[in-house]
Structure 1
Amino acid sequence: MSNLDVSNITLTVVMDQTAPVKVFLSMTPCVIFLYVNGVMLFTLSKKTVFQEKARYILFGHMLWVDTLNLCMSVVLYICAVSKISIMKNVCFVLLFFTTALLHVSVLNLALMSLERYVAICFPLRHAEIITSERTKMAIGIVWMMSLIQPLSDMITFYAVDSTSAVMNLFCSRTTLFRLQIYKKLEISISCVFFVSVCFVIIFTYASIAAVAKTASGDKMSAKKANKTVLLHLLQLVLGLVSLLLEPIFEAIYVRLGLTASVNLMYFFFAVFIIFPRCLSPLVYGLRDQAFGVSFKYYFTLGLKRQNRCNTEIHVVARGCKI
């Protein structure tokens, strides 16, 4: 929600009689998907194989990041549509973590695509190259890289920006970061991240597609991996669109007026803020047979029995595709 400037329309939202209904409709899927993410994280903690294999470690990391990102977006969204003013220091902390989580989510897509690339293109060396220790180290590097822009914003905010840090305001990047240097930093760093991740995803997709065409490769696994990489590309596109929501929203406001802009704000929040955070857990998690069976078991509170394909790492030997 930090990417969607709603400060100029909060007065209209308050006077909008349908605002409570719209807020309820937008919050309901958030609650549902937060529960789904919680069950998935619980499922990952219940089996050793889910804590040792690199793909599940990256999946769990993605779940945590998307869950925290969704929570932060909901907080900022509620504050905006409820016309709640926040002290600048508090707003800065919220935007600091929101920006960092967005970049972590984007860079994590590159890690997950590279893991699938190694698994399909170098299957005999996958266990040697992609170890749990190296995976955790890569996640740490991703977090350090994701703090570049938030730390740059923090230095600028406290060293250059002379506005009062205790003043209350509607919390968004537009209202808090008014200097041009903030926008230049955001554009330059975000462009580097998104272009780099896009290159990695396209490269891994092309490489896996080449393996799928060879007679020696596992065509079924390669095709499934390619679909997963395409899913990551869709997530990347939706994440990029979320960064462009602010100028898009301003253009709509100028052309269509305030009332139409208010209605479109709810649509943008549902499609470009909620949907990207919920897409990967549902599709990526449920497409994995070993994880999907365990998840359904815990999601239904044990009413759906687990089958023998969900016991341990030996699922492959028993004929269950992961």
Structure 2
Amino acid sequence: MSSRSNISQYQGLLERIVLCFLSTGPACFFLLINGILMFSLRSKPVFRYTCRYILLYNLLVADTAQLIVTQVLFLLAVGRVKITYAVCGTITTMANLTAGISPLTLVIMTLERYVAVCYPLRHASIVNIKNTVVAIIAAWAVSTLNNVTRNLFLIEYPYEKFGKVLMKDYCTNIGWIPDSLCDDYDRAYNAVVFVSASITVISSYTGVVIAAKAASTDKASALKARKTLLLHLVQLFLSLAYTLYYPLLSALAKTVQRIVFVWVQNVIYVLFIVLPRCLTSLIYGLRDQTVRPVLLHYLFCRWKLSVEPATC
């Protein structure tokens, strides 16, 4: 019996190590890509003083922070590490804060492309660095307000125990705030963000299509903007995919065996958490004609490259 118990413990440990490697490997790889792209966007004046690249940098910061925090939560869950409610609340609040930035930033980037195509003469006055910074601050403020509202559901719980009592299960949003009203609030907020962002992207795309038919519109620029807006719509779906992560896990936990659940959890984590946070760097880093050479330059450790300056 003792031998069987030791073998079972060894298999469990080996299983957790393999799962950690399978999730941490892709996460570290894409964190490296994101880090190189973020460094690239701060290395040249063309990026530091161009509005769309400022927005891209903000999106990358939020996605990178989100990926780091969710990876920490995943490793704690796989390792079956129990932490206090206070620590879990801090980590999950940071995860929710950064997760809410992506869809809001994509909306701002969509409006920037719409103004660039439909109002080219007024683009420089509307989309300037000051207004861009204000829009970014507004996005962080909305996401912060959402988190403050979520944490108000904790008023009925004894705060003095949060810093001392260990959680009964691993740290998740569900375990942090065990209140069905909070779940309803999360669904309502995510639905409002998704519908509002979708309407904005679709309306902007329609406006660009209509403007493309005008004789005075740059056809090539309009076509490029249409493709960009479609990519924004895809990214919007992906950025909100994290909202399906915990509901899927809860449903699977009730229907499949533990060994199956553990491996499916890893696949869902990579598809719904890791991959969406990495497509930003792949889409913009390789598609943008200005960013691509700089990204490849630093990616392959070539330290001599120049980029023509540009303006907002």
Distance 1:16 1:182 in 2: 35
Matched, 1:162 2:163: no
1:32 paired residue number? 29
Contact preservation (8 Å) 2:36, 2:298: yes
Encode CA deviations 1:160-205: one digit per residue, 9 max, x unaligned.
Answer: 2237312112210111211222212212222222211111111111
Contact preservation (8 Å) 2:34, 2:281: yes
Matches within 5 A, 1:32-111: 32-111=29-108
Distance 1:306 1:213 in 2: 38
Tell me the SS of whatever aligns to 1:285: helix
RMSD over aligned Cα atoms: 2.3
1:213–1:257 CA distance, 2 compared to 1 (3 A): farther
**Structure 2: any 5+ residue segments left out of the alignment?**
1-7
Matched, 1:217 2:214: no
Distance 1:129 1:167 in 2: 51
| Segment drifting more, 75-84 vs 245-254 | 245-254
Matched, 1:153 2:156: no
Query: CA offset at residue 16 of structure 1?
Result: 6.8
| Segment drifting more, 174-183 vs 73-82 | 174-183
Aligned residues: 301
1:18–1:223 CA distance, 2 compared to 1 (3 A): farther
Contact preservation (8 Å) 1:198, 1:233: yes
Matches within 5 A, 1:1-322: 15=12, 17-157=14-154, 159-162=155-158, 164-165=161-162, 166-169=164-167, 170-302=170-302, 306=305, 310-313=307-310
Distance 2:279 2:260 in 1: 27
Encode CA deviations 1:258-283: one digit per residue, 9 max, x unaligned.
Answer: 33222211111111100110001111
Distance 2:182 2:157 in 1: 10
| Segment drifting more, 219-228 vs 121-130 | 219-228
| Segment drifting more, 75-84 vs 285-294 | 285-294
Counterpart of 2:280, as a letter, is S
Encode CA deviations 1:76-131: one digit per residue, 9 max, x unaligned.
Answer: 11111011111110110111111111111110110011111111111111111100
Distance 1:89 1:18 in 2: 29
Contact preservation (8 Å) 1:110, 1:197: yes
**Structure 1: any 5+ residue segments left out of the alignment?**
1-10, 315-321
Contact preservation (8 Å) 1:92, 1:176: yes
Distance 1:52 1:286 in 2: 20
> Which consecutive aligned stretches of 4+ in structure 1 deviate over 4 angstroms post-superposition?
none
| Segment drifting more, 253-262 vs 52-61 | 253-262
Distance 1:289 1:182 in 2: 44
Counterpart of 1:47, as a letter, is K
Distance 1:240 1:313 in 2: 32
Encode CA deviations 1:5-30: one digit per residue, 9 max, x unaligned.
Answer: xxxxxx99x82744322321221121
Distance 2:102 2:178 in 1: 26
Contact preservation (8 Å) 2:209, 2:222: yes
Contact preservation (8 Å) 2:16, 2:79: no
Counterpart of 1:34, as a letter, is L
Distance 2:176 2:117 in 1: 46
TM-score of the two chains, using structure 1 as the length reference: 0.87
